[in-house]
Amino acid sequence: MSEKSMVPSRLMFCVMLISMFLLVLSSLFLLQFSSHSFIPRSVLELIIVNNSSFYFTPDFKREQIVLPTDSSEDLRFQALKPRESDSKVSNSSEREHSVERQMNIACDQNRALLKVFMYDLPPEFHFGLLGWKGSVNQTWPDVDNPNHVPRYPGGLNLQHSMEYWLTLDLLSLNTAKAGQHCTAIRVQNSSQADIIFVPFFSSLSYNRHSKTQVEGQVSVNKMLQDRLVRFLRGCKEWKRSGGKNHLIVAHHPNSLLDVRSNLASAMLVLADFGRYPVELANIKKDIIAPYKHLVATIPRAESPSYDERSTLVYFQGAIYRKDGGVIRQELYYLLKDEKDVHFTFGSIGGNGVNQASQGMSTSKFCLNIAGDTPSSNRLFDAIVSHCVPVIISDEIELPYEDVLDYSEFSLFVRAADAIKKGYLLNLLHSIKREEWTKMWERLKEITHHYEYQYPSQPGDAVNMIWQEVVRKISSIQFNSHRKNRYNRSQLLVKTN
Ligand SMILES: *[C@@H]1O[C@H](CO)[C@@H](O)[C@H](O)[C@H]1NC(C)=O
Ligand SMILES: *[C@@H]1O[C@H](CO)[C@@H](O)[C@H](O)[C@H]1NC(C)=O
Ligand SMILES: *[C@@H]1O[C@H](CO)[C@@H](O)[C@H](O)[C@H]1NC(C)=O
Ligand SMILES: *[C@@H]1O[C@H](CO)[C@@H](O)[C@H](O)[C@H]1NC(C)=O
């Protein structure tokens, strides 16, 4: 009886929910058409008042705390992120006001966080590797129409495709679309740039062109690397700074392998530091970028909740790995026969992606165990599946960890603990529905920081990487300025 009466009320609830959703959606669309995005006025004012890098305005953080948003903390590092709640707070005159201001902040040089100069390397270093051929003397494809942009090869190659997304973003910043957000801007004069971007698709070059037809022949990958080094050494920009203000993407752990020691003075965009000696690459000067996830992102509203995820813990991957990966074997023997545990051997090619997607989205926890490198794509697949990551990789470095607290949505377990009998399962069982749900909610909030896309959107991976570059430049400067403190007096003492 009671069940029958439940049905209509549940139906009513659903109808209400849907109509509220539609209402919000339509108001969002309205705003979108009129203003491209909905930056809170207070933030806009901050940006406008101070012409240039609002990022470094000391008052910025305090200002944000009073913003009327649902999770204003995200704004710490994303002043330009659109927020649904903004539509609630702005009445129409305020909105017009902000539209007007918005026009004014079309991405011009003085307002961008980061000014980037990009070398016009010949196409064989970038889009030529995708099979793109322009007309004579054409260096870059026309990216105005996203449908005509050359495609990056799919499959496993995509994991390391950030070289492509970053380059596309810089190209698009020259077009009209640029007004939408203003993190990085491409400048044509390298003396005005904060950083000099080297548009070499090094991961694709490694993945696709490392093999040679004939024994003893030099591979295309090796040849391109050598030519790149020669090119850079001949550039006044490189000579001026010894490469220090250059940004080079080498996300595949084996990319740029032959010339690392020649290029390591630059800021590198990497997956991890596993295959780099610390003097060549380290967290002080380099940037960790997320892999591009392979499984599809679960829409927030469709994400299975605690009770809908029947598997306690999920891992699928190669089990026998070299180097740090021995722990995978030990865990395998500890966990393989446990109830509610999915721990199997499988590659993620072919149908593996679909299986992993299904498996992760119906699991509460997803294991990320060090493989032959400290990082792996699996972490990002878990994040977009909203499966709480359990990170067992003592040496791992994580993307944007200066602004994201991973402990809010992941669990870290030391390798030495993880292989103690019963330790891991006890730990996972002790995390109850409420605690897990908090982490899950946070996962849903941060998922968009791991999306690579074109055109790039505020707060997505491309945008986050540019912001990370800004912060890295700032911290490198800080360290270098400190080193200069006593130079003058030392010099004076010497000369007197
Ligand atoms: C803003 O930038 C413009 C052009 O660079 C400059 O003329 C103006 O004085 C600046 N205003 C402020 C408040 O810094
Ligand atoms: C290509 O560049 C060369 C050298 O700058 C120039 O002589 C030639 O006319 C250009 N060709 C076209 C089609 O623009
Ligand atoms: C580039 O900028 C520098 C410094 O602002 C300036 O001295 C130089 O003339 C500029 N070069 C060109 C080609 O505009
Ligand atoms: C100042 O001195 C430090 C170490 O003594 C050195 O590393 C740095 O390059 C010097 N800075 C300048 C501007 O010469």
Which atom of ligand 3 lies at the shortest distance from residue 189's CA?
A: 1
Q: Ligand 3 within 6 A of 192 CB?
A: yes
Distance 122 CA to ligand 2 centre (A): 14
| Pairwise CA distance, residues 88 & 438, whole Å | 25
CATH superfamily entry for domain 300-450: Glycogen Phosphorylase B; (3.40.50.2000)
Task: Give me the pLDDT at residue 146, please.
Answer: 80
Q: Ligand 3 within 6 A of 236 CB?
A: no
End-to-end alpha carbon distance in the chain:
99
Which atom of ligand 1 lies at the shortest distance from residue 110's CA?
A: 5
Q: Ligand 4 within 6 A of 339 CB?
A: no
Distance 37 CA to ligand 4 centre (A): 45
Residue minimizing CA distance to atom 8 of ligand 1: 51
Distance 457 CA to ligand 1 centre (A): 27
Which atom of ligand 4 lies at the shortest distance from residue 484's CA?
A: 1
Q: For ligand 1, pick from 45, 49, 50, 51 the residue to mutate: most ligand atoms within 8 Å of CB.
A: 51
Query: How many Cα atoms within 13 Å fall on the side-chain side of residue 376?
Result: 25
Strand order of the sheet with strand 363-369? Answer: 341-345, 311-317, 363-369, 388-392, 411-412
Strand segments, DSSP code E, in 88-183 are 114-118
CB-based burial of residue 430 (10 Å sphere; 0-12 exposed, 13-18 middle, 19+ buried)? exposed
Kindly list the domain boundaries of the chain, sorted by start residue. Answer: 111-292+465-479, 300-450
Which atom of ligand 1 lies at the shortest distance from residue 49's CA?
A: 13
Strand order of the sheet with strand 246-249? Answer: 184-186, 114-118, 195-198, 246-249, 267-270, 287-288
Give the angle 156-140-462 at the CA atoms, nearest 5°.
50
Strand segments, DSSP code E, in 318-426 are 341-345, 363-369, 388-392, 411-412
**Ligand 2 surroundings by CB, under 6 angstroms:** 136-137
Give the pLDDT means over successive 10-residue stretches in the chain (496 positions): 55 81 68 44 40 32 29 32 35 39 50 90 96 91 86 90 95 60 85 96 95 86 96 95 95 95 96 93 96 94 96 84 72 88 74 86 94 86 97 93 96 94 95 97 97 91 95 92 91 80
Q: For ligand 2, pick from 133, 135, 136 the residue to mutate: most ligand atoms within 8 Å of CB.
A: 136
| Residues 145, 129, 241, 236, CA torsion sign | negative
Q: For ligand 4, pick from 476, 487, 488 the residue to mutate: most ligand atoms within 8 Å of CB.
A: 487
Which atom of ligand 2 lies at the shortest distance from residue 135's CA?
A: 13
| Pairwise CA distance, residues 428 & 449, whole Å | 26
**Ligand 1 surroundings by CB, under 6 angstroms:** 51, 110
Q: Ligand 3 within 6 A of 191 CB?
A: yes
Task: Give me the pLDDT at residue 324, please.
Answer: 54
Q: Ligand 3 within 6 A of 92 CB?
A: no
Q: Which residues contact 19 (CB under 8 A, 6 or more apart)?
A: none
Q: Which residues contact 418 (CB under 8 A, 6 or more apart)?
A: 327, 331, 369, 392, 424
